[in-house]
Amino acid sequence: MFWTGKWFFRIGVVGIALLLQFSCAKTAKQAGAHLVFRYNEHANIQTLDPAFAKDLRTIWATNQLFNGLVQLDDRLEVLPDIASSWELTDTGKTYTFHLRMDVHFHRHPLFGSERTRKVVASDFVYSLNRLQDPRVASPGKWVLEHVQNFSAVNDSTFVIQLKQPFPPFLSLLSMKYCSVVPKEAVSYFGTSFRSHPIGTGPFQFQLWVENTKLVFRKNNAYHERGVLGQRLPYLEAVAITFLPDKQSEFLQFVQGNLDFLNSIDASYKDELLTEKGELTAGYQDRIDMRSGPYLNTEYLGVYLDAENPAAQSLKIRQAINYGFDREKMILYLRNGMGTPAVNGFIPKGMPSFDQMNGYTYQPKKAKELLRSYSEETGDLNPSITISTNSQYLDLCEYIQRELEKLGLRVSLDVMPPSTLRQSKVQGKLNLFRGSWVADYPDAENYLFIFHSKNFSPDGPNYTHFSNPEFDQLYETAIKTTDRKIREELYHKMDRLLMQAAPVIPLYYDQVVRFTQKNIQHLGINPVNQLHLKQVRKQPM
């Protein structure tokens, strides 16, 4: 077949036009790349309904979509959100919130011709009632356990009355569980609201291909503004991928395909960090790293109702606490990421952190306690079993070696995380590796798990620790509105806890964040919350 010059010319013009169109589209995509914040969630996301925001991955996503009455800043101070102000009366039992009248739900046809509507106080009545509804079965209903009732006085005034004063209550209200949701959307979507979220946040839902990608777009009507008066957010979109493998996530990050990497994993920690926890030379010019205290205490818990006499012995528990070097453990096994837990159960970063409490490395004292135990009981070869999952096996192996040098036989039982959690709740483990992450920034969050009324399986007291003096101090503290007095009570409780040693604190965790060099204003905070509304991303 022969092509005439005319046909050849026409085909050539079309080809060039298509090439130019593709090139322009590619250039436009590249030009807009600095407006999209990209991160990976290796643990996947199951829901975007804030009533089910019980884990960090869900909290991060819903934090971009929803707002509540109040919010926490990076110093964990309670700030206004949809409530512009509030008063506390009736000796700390009645909270009166005054709402902003410029907050609107995300645009959606469900709201009729206006495509949106203003948030009013009755929306909070609906949202909190939904949180308590047994048919919803929200894991966050406990947040309202101190609440007597709540009501909308008018569109701009919302009142909550407590059963008794509870000073950390404002911090509890900052949790994503307490976000405002529109009745129209929940009624229409039902359980599918999990994948059709409508909120008031800086970003709004755009696309979710489950197990593959999640996209949020900028909410152009968001109510908050930056320090210079610009409407937030600055980004146009947030894109979340779901690569399940942390090594693959790391490779995507170092190749520049992700903007943010949270925490550190054993698979790449030695490549990324020096022994002192600093960026290795090869990455210092390529990425930024920030770290700070994380309100998470990693520990070994002792089930005090166990049949093992060694686990029930105070001297054995104290010997374990004295018997290994936490400083060395963190330096060599975690590249310095974390603070050795030599100051009790309340972690560093919490206002009630007590530097005068806890256990330091004293092997001679540990040996004396073990010898005294053997003399008293006749048990010349005391033994314990530590149950853990594979992620913390290296730490437990280190503790095993150190304690066996002192004369305590230690076995390790490695099991899947789900089995470990279930067995811990059911009281089937003598010693178990655990962690406790703060839900809100008050030490009460760390101490209520040792109240005798909270025995597992119905509560989080997995050690079955019981002490009448501790209980009395706790019940006094939660009614005390004076912050300094409350912190003194917290110190006394933490010291009682360490004296009885139902736990062996290992380390206080750290928030570690890695970002590309062009990411600005991504803060860091002790609860590892992800705030993207202030983030800017400069063109590369």
pLDDT in tens, 458-475: 899 999 999 999 999 999
Closest by alpha carbon to 291, among 263, 332, 330, 266?
263
| Residue 350: per-residue pLDDT | 86
- The per-residue pLDDT for range 252-310, each reduced to its tens digit, is 999 999 999 998 888 888 899 998 889 999 999 999 999 999 999 999 999 999 888 88
Within the chain, how many helices (H) and strands (E) appear?
16, 19
Find residue 514's DSSP bridge partners: 261, 289
Range 440-447 average pLDDT: 92
Band of residue 2 on the pLDDT scale cut at 50, 70, 90: very low
The dihedral through the CA atoms of 97, 102, 108, 113 has a sign that is positive
Is residue 386 domain-resident? yes
CB neighbour class for 147 (10 Å; exposed up to 12, middle 13-18, buried from 19): middle
| Helix or strand (DSSP H, E) at 59 | helix 56-65
Calculate ∠ Cα 268-270-272, nearest 5°: 70
Give alpha helix (H) positions in 416-482: 417-425, 444-447, 468-477
Is residue 81 domain-resident? yes
Running DSSP on this structure, what letter comes out for residue 431?
Answer: E
| Residue 433: per-residue pLDDT | 96
- Split into its structural domains, the chain has a count of 2
- The per-residue pLDDT for range 331-389, each reduced to its tens digit, is 999 988 899 999 999 998 888 898 889 999 999 999 999 999 999 999 999 999 999 99
Going by C-beta distance under 8 Å and a sequence separation of 6 or more, which residues neighbour residue 420? 387, 388, 389, 429, 432, 433
| Residue 427: per-residue pLDDT | 94
The yes-or-no verdict on residue 28 having pLDDT over 50 is no
Range 519-538 average pLDDT: 95
Range 4-28 average pLDDT: 45
CB neighbour class for 58 (10 Å; exposed up to 12, middle 13-18, buried from 19): buried
The yes-or-no verdict on residue 9 having pLDDT over 50 is no
Whether residues 455 and 310 share a domain: the answer is yes
Whether residues 338 and 476 share a domain: the answer is yes
- The per-residue pLDDT for range 110-125, each reduced to its tens digit, is 999 999 999 999 999 9
The yes-or-no verdict on residue 501 having pLDDT over 90 is yes
CA 527 from chain centre, in angstroms, equals: 6
- The per-residue pLDDT for range 148-206, each reduced to its tens digit, is 999 999 999 999 999 999 999 999 999 999 999 999 999 999 999 999 999 999 999 99
| Residue 21: per-residue pLDDT | 52
What value does the mean pLDDT of the chain take? 92
| Residue 32: per-residue pLDDT | 66
Is residue 61 domain-resident? yes
Range 50-62 average pLDDT: 95
Domain with 395 in it: what CATH number? 3.10.105.10
Whether residues 301 and 186 share a domain: the answer is no
Is residue 224 domain-resident? no
Domain of 142, in residue numbers = 50-196
Distance CA 224, CA 243 (A): 32
3-state secondary structure 24-51: HHHHHHHHHHHHEEEEECCCCCCCCCHH
Is residue 347 domain-resident? yes
Characterize the bridge pairing of strands 157-162 and 147-154.
antiparallel
Is residue 346 domain-resident? yes
The yes-or-no verdict on residue 506 having pLDDT over 80 is yes
Contact (CB, 8 A) for 263 and 437: no
Going by C-beta distance under 8 Å and a sequence separation of 6 or more, which residues neighbour residue 26? none
**What's the number of CA atoms in the CB half-sphere (13 Å) around residue 86?**
23
Domain with 69 in it: what CATH number? 3.90.76.10
Whether residues 188 and 313 share a domain: the answer is no
Q: What does the radius of gyration of the chain's CA atoms come to, in whole angstroms?
A: 27
Phi, psi of 404 (to 5 degrees): -70, -30
Range 404-425 average pLDDT: 95
Contact (CB, 8 A) for 37 and 202: no
| Residue 359: per-residue pLDDT | 97
Name residue 490's amino acid. Answer: Y
Is residue 217 domain-resident? no
Is residue 158 domain-resident? yes
Whether residues 301 and 409 share a domain: the answer is yes
| Residue 1: per-residue pLDDT | 36
CB neighbour class for 379 (10 Å; exposed up to 12, middle 13-18, buried from 19): middle
| Residue 349: per-residue pLDDT | 83
The yes-or-no verdict on residue 25 having pLDDT over 90 is no
The yes-or-no verdict on residue 20 having pLDDT over 70 is no
Whether residues 367 and 489 share a domain: the answer is yes
| Residue 443: per-residue pLDDT | 93
Whether residues 367 and 492 share a domain: the answer is yes
